[in-house]
Amino acid sequence: AKQAGGNLIRFFNPKMQESINARITLENELRIAIEKSQFHLYYQIQMDSDNRVLGAEALIRWTNPEHGLVLPATFIPIAEETGLILSIGKWVIETACAQIKVWQKKSQTRDLTLAVNVSAKQFRQKDFVDQVQSAVQRHAIPGNLLKLELTESLLQYDTEVTIAMMKALNKIGVQFSLDDFGTGYSSLQYLKRLPLDQFKIDQSFVRDIATDNNDKAIVKAIIAMAQILDIDVIAEGVETEEQQQLLLGKGCTLYQGYLFSKPIPIDQFDALIGRFTDS
């Protein structure tokens, strides 16, 4: 269509064509990335208020032979649109379960939980529950060490099916965290129907918590909701002591952010754990 000239070309200015080409290239590169195992997981530590390690969140990275380390913001949206997220997501769950198994073998890391991000399309697969169950069973890990991070928008769709899926996974211990919490419109009425274990306060509310009274009020409301529902709260994007102290003062007990560590490769993460725990 590019060289069709005449009428057609007028609909596509060169800029548009450029970005279409870039997308197609990215899509092809993603297919190759899956085949050649160019993805890996980075791990970001999660802490409690007594400075004990709770576990980690797994965050995907792509090592592209040409561009080096690529962040998920660049490729997850395309992976979602093209459906490639299905095989990528499956790989993430598989790799996470394998990592939990490795941690199981050392007393120092035996109880670490690992949180993985699940995209809407991935969750809506007919066999999603089977995939997770089978990964947990094949790796012979305690299901409660695996935590799935879901977003409000994902949960709002087809509630009955969603609740049934979550309950089926609950049966083998799998936990659920509500990611980016506060950015959607979930009511207490609605949330109490979902078998959630954790709310994750979105980093946009943590960033200016020291100065912005609205953010302060929202964080307070989220924690109050969690207490009513008897759900844990973790704050993400915690970068300063001041933010942590303010969160602690409002009743938040779990933290994740650059204050403790950036997401890092597994060997660095294991070394970091060694520094937080005694033998």
Nearer Cβ to ligand C2E (143/263): 263
Q: From ligand C2E, Ca ion, none, which one binds at residue 257 (CB under 5 to 8 Å depending on kind)? A: ligand C2E
* DSSP secondary structure of the chain: -GGG-HHHHHHS-HHHHHHHHHHHHHHHHHHHHHHTT-EEEEEEEEEETTS-EEEEEEEEEEEETTTEEE-HHHHHHHHHHHTTHHHHHHHHHHHHHHHHHHHHTSGGGTT-EEEEE--HHHHTSTTHHHHHHHHHHHTT--GGGEEEEEEHHHHTSSHHHHHHHHHHHHTTT-EEEEEEETSS---HHHHTTS---EEEE-HHHHHTTTT-HHHHHHHHHHHHHHHHHT-EEEE----SHHHHHHHHHTT--EEESTTT---B-HHHHHHHHHHHS--
The answer to the question of residue 92 lying near ligand C2E (CB under 6 A) is yes
Stretch that binds Ca ion, among 12-20, 79-87, 114-122, 157-165 (CB under 5 A): 114-122
Please, which residues have CB within 8 angstroms of residue 205's CB and are 6 or more apart in sequence? 182, 215, 218, 219, 222
Contact at 8 Å (CB) between 209 and 247?
yes
Q: Is 180 in the site for ligand C2E (CB under 6 A)?
A: yes
Taking CB under 6 A as the criterion, the residue among 53, 56, 59, 135 binding ligand C2E is 59
Quick one: which segment of 178-186, 215-223, 224-232, 267-275 binds Ca ion (CB under 5 A)?
178-186
Stretch that binds Ca ion, among 96-104, 160-168, 176-184, 257-265 (CB under 5 A): 176-184
Q: Does residue 197 interact with ligand C2E by CB under 6 A?
A: no
* Residue 247 binding partner per list ligand C2E, Ca ion, none, with a CB distance cut-off of 5 to 8 Å that depends on partner kind: none
Using an 8 Å Cβ cutoff, are 63 and 69 in contact? yes
Regarding 99 and contact with Ca ion (CB under 5 A), the answer is: no
Residue 87 C-beta: closest distance to Ca ion, Å: 20
84, 88, 103, 180: residue in contact with Ca ion (rule CB under 5 A)? 180
| Per CB under 6 A, 182 contacts ligand C2E | no
Residues 120-159 within binding reach of ligand C2E (CB under 6 A):
none
* Shortest Å distance, C-beta 195 to ligand C2E: 20
Q: What's the closest the beta carbon of residue 180 comes to Ca ion, in angstroms? A: 4
Candidate list 149, 154, 206, 246; residue touching Ca ion; CB under 5 A: 149
223 binds, among Ca ion, ligand C2E, none (CB under 5 to 8 A by kind): none
Site size for Ca ion (CB under 5 A)? 4
Write the DSSP assignment of 243-277 as a string of letters: HHHHHHHTT--EEESTTT---B-HHHHHHHHHHHS
Contacts with Ca ion by CB under 5 A lie at: 117, 149, 179-180
Contacts with ligand C2E by CB under 6 A lie at: 44, 59-60, 71-73, 76, 89, 92, 117, 119, 179-180, 203, 236-239, 257-258, 263
